[in-house]
Amino acid sequence: MEGRILDYNLTTKEGLIKNTVGDRYTFTAEDYRSQSEIKIGQNVDFDIVDGNKATAIYLLKGDFSAAAGAAVESFTNVLSKENFNKLSQSATDLLARDNVKETTQSVKKFVIAQLGVI
């Protein structure tokens, strides 16, 4: 069965998976078989035992959503409001330069737009 990890508690090593039709299943870290860390939002494949317990949980190949979420979370934790303002101003200053190539300018605009939602 396929689903997504909804919650995971590092202290208790227990979590919750929701399958594609909305049913929820509990699991423990011992049930997780993949090499990568358990992350909320991971798409996983799993078996069911005792009606509502997930076991033999494997991260689905090609699932980069959890990694992307972790990267954004890490970046957000490092980026204080003061640092955000400095970064935003630096990017704005770079965009104002006449000698910035169009491709670089597009990338910088994208970064500013993404940072603007924090």
Task: Check if the beta carbon of residue 16 is closer than 8 Å to that of residue 32.
Answer: no
pLDDT of 118:
45
**2-59 fold:** OB fold (Dihydrolipoamide Acetyltransferase, E2P) (2.40.50)
Task: Check if the beta carbon of residue 39 is closer than 8 Å to that of residue 66.
Answer: yes
CA–CA gap between residue 34 and residue 43 (Å, rounded)? 12
Give 44-96 pLDDT, tens digit per residue. 999 999 999 999 999 987 655 555 555 666 666 666 666 667 777 776 666 66
Give 102-112 pLDDT, tens digit per residue. 556 566 677 77
Beta partners for residue 28, in sequence order? 14
Sequence-separated (6 or more) residues with CB below 8 Å from residue 5:
15, 16, 17, 38, 39, 40, 41, 42, 44, 66
Domain map of the chain by residue range?
2-59, 80-118
